[in-house]
Structure 1
Amino acid sequence: MNDREIHVSFEYNDELVKKIKKVEGRRWQPHKKCWVVPNNVKSINSLIRVFVNDNVSWDKSLNPFIKNNNDSNLLDINSTLSQLEKQLTLIGYSSKTKKAYKGHIRRFLTFNNNTKVLEKEGVEKYMYYLFNEQQNSHTFVNQALSAIKIYYEYVLKKGKVLYDLPRPKREKKLPNILSQKEVISILDSVSNTKHKSILFLTYSAGLRVGEVVRLKVDDIDSDRMLIHIRQGKGRKDRYTILSEVALDMLRKYARIERPENWLFPGGKDNSFLTERSVQKIFANACKKAKINKNVSVHSLRHSFATHLLEQGTDLRYIQELLGHSSSKTTEIYTYVTEANISKIKSPLDRLLTR
């Protein structure tokens, strides 16, 4: 760091790159392989706010700024987050949701210099900041607002003072779907039996990544050809189909690895494979299969539903297999299926092929 600029460096990570791009005045220096931020109060405060939840090694000269932004009431923040986690546990939220909500409240308090209670206008100002300056998605801002409302109601005991605060309109985005040919290419590109079994199960049963990694050996019912999903999203149990092809792959995997408790154990004792590991497995498979679409592991679940719909499976059965509470959630696949769209003939074809 010099008098005019601050150097920021980290191993490449998509999320960290997105964060640093939110800092005004930042620029990339290829020859130094680091980001450069102007050495002024505004940029430093922005930098600290963006990386408030990350493990950062700060230059000692930035200590006064860090204290003002983060440490001046750190004990109170930690106490507040502890109270929030307790309330979220009592409500029945999953550990993943609790972690997300605590992150939102930490950022909210940090943005407001640890002011615990703000008027409605202050919360609206924060929402505007998330939208306009940080350019977060509607989903992210909606979740932030949900966390703040719970914080006000259950931790601060302020009741529903934010009840009528408007929510961002939900974005109507269609999922990216893999064709059946692309799915085959992805599955064929994986040679590791354990990795192959994970992707086979994910696609063949329409599983969420958090569901497939938490499967236990006893959850595979080969007699009834069903998979028991325990405490999926919304803390709901359900059954979904077990593919014969996937079962054959699982048996091959079991002969090699011999799993005892978790179907796909992780590196630590009595732990399951992390979701991040499965995401990497899928990303590597897509790279080998030369799939250039913007897809993730969750795209296998979307593709499962879409392919079933194209085969003529009733939407109500698909809803049950996916574990959707509302049929409206499942209906999104009617917009991406080729079964109906392919029947429509373009007017250009009618004009020029008479």
Structure 2
Amino acid sequence: MTELRKRMNDAMVLRGLAERTKESYLACVTGLAKYYWLSPDTLDAEAIQSYLLHLITEKKLAYSSVNQAACAFRFLFATVLRQKSVAFDIPMAKVPKRLPQVLTRDEVQRLFAHGGDLRSRAVLMTTYAAGLRLSEVCALQLGDIESAPDRMCIKVRQGKGGKDRYTLLSPRLLDTLRLYWRARRPRLWLFPNSSGDGPLSDQTAQRMYHAARRAAGIEHGGGIHTLRHAFATHLLEAGVDIHTIQRLMGHGHVSTTTRYFHLAHTHLIGTPSPLELLDPD
């Protein structure tokens, strides 16, 4: 796998795939190799289809995860191995569309109040206040916090799709981050790992969220990504226009952002039913 892994990684770098996409694709191909104990370039389409079926029926993976594996295998064979003549009969499963879970403002307040130590509260507050993805909050560096009065923003480096963007820096968040910096004195990474030589891991940030959620008595709420959903929904409820929210969140298409209309209560309350618009008998 070593040579094949290098070839695949090089091909993804040349095509500008995002870091998390590269990691996911390599993990999918590694899983395929371990399942058969064979190099993936020796397998045929039937073997790959059997493996995808195994992921669905035995591993019970979500269809979105299986789709990602199928994309990784297509990339491997068509791009890396240049076997474009090989026909894959791998239907991409339709992923059921569900509305994301969102915390209320009161629940967010309770979450912060039960956030444990100052670092945990700072991580959770930053995720919510800036609408960050998990990977984005973990990768923040001190230089990304632009606190000059005429700037007041956070730079997000290489977000989804490898794109940089700027998002909000709340004055309340800035006060919390300054308290945190005075207590912990991070040097490069805003939230370094325990050894200080790298960024906070995704798993640690998720544990912070779940610990605070349990302590606050919030039964629902999914993972830490719920705070990003709350960011968008609460801004929409406050009257911020959809295109501004799209830019702040780094969505490539406004259609991704418009789903939050379904979650914003202020857009439902007070809206009359068409029945009320009919002439009375």
Fold shared, TM-score > 0.5 on shorter chain: yes
Q: Is the 8 A contact 1:138 1:168 kept in 2?
A: yes
CA distance in 1, matches of 2:72, 2:80: 11
Q: Is the 8 A contact 2:45 2:89 kept in 1?
A: no
Q: Is the 8 A contact 2:103 2:221 kept in 1?
A: no
Q: Is the 8 A contact 1:149 1:162 kept in 2?
A: no
Q: Is the 8 A contact 1:230 1:236 kept in 2?
A: yes
Find 2:66's aligned residue among 117, 136, 141. 141
CA shift in 2, pair 1:168/1:227, >3 Å: same
Matching of residue 157 in structure 1 with residue 82 in structure 2: yes
CA distance in 2, matches of 1:113, 1:263: 41
CA distance in 2, matches of 1:317, 1:222: 21
CA distance in 2, matches of 1:271, 1:92: 23
Q: Secondary structure in 2 aligned to 1:246?
A: helix
Q: Secondary structure in 2 aligned to 1:227?
A: strand
- Give the superposition deviation at 1:220: 1.0
Identify unmatched segments of 5+ residues in structure 1: 1-76, 348-354
Equivalent residue number for residue 113 of structure 2: 188
CA distance in 2, matches of 1:329, 1:256: 38
Percent identical pairs in the alignment equals 35
TM-score (norm 2): 0.88
Q: Secondary structure in 1 aligned to 2:236?
A: helix
- Give the superposition deviation at 1:125: 3.2
Matching of residue 218 in structure 1 with residue 168 in structure 2: no
Q: Which amino acid is 1:184 matched to?
A: Q
Q: Describe how 1:159-174 pairs up with structure 2 within 5 A.
A: 159=84, 161-162=86-87, 165-174=90-99
Q: Is the 8 A contact 1:138 1:169 kept in 2?
A: yes
Post-superposition Cα deviations, 1:242-283, rounded to whole Å, max 9, x if no partner, equal 111101111111222222221122222432222211111111
Q: Which amino acid is 1:151 matched to?
A: L
Identify unmatched segments of 5+ residues in structure 2: 275-281
CA shift in 2, pair 1:256/1:112, >3 Å: closer
Matching of residue 197 in structure 1 with residue 122 in structure 2: yes
Equivalent residue number for residue 104 of structure 1: 28
Matching of residue 263 in structure 1 with residue 190 in structure 2: yes
CA shift in 2, pair 1:330/1:226, >3 Å: same
Post-superposition Cα deviations, 1:138-181, rounded to whole Å, max 9, x if no partner, equal 11011001100011012221126447743111220211100100
CA distance in 1, matches of 2:75, 2:254: 27
Equivalent residue number for residue 303 of structure 1: 230
Q: Which has the larger radius of gyration?
A: 1
Q: Is the 8 A contact 2:102 2:221 kept in 1?
A: no
- Give the superposition deviation at 1:344: 5.4
- Give the superposition deviation at 1:305: 0.4
CA distance in 2, matches of 1:294, 1:247: 25
TM-score (norm 1): 0.71
CA distance in 1, matches of 2:45, 2:185: 56
Equivalent residue number for residue 15 of structure 2: 91
Equivalent residue number for residue 352 of structure 1: none
Q: Describe how 1:233-312 pairs up with structure 2 within 5 A.
A: 233-312=160-239
RMSD after superposition: 2.2
Q: Which amino acid is 2:185 matched to?
A: R
CA distance in 2, matches of 1:273, 1:116: 35
Aligned residues between the structures? 271
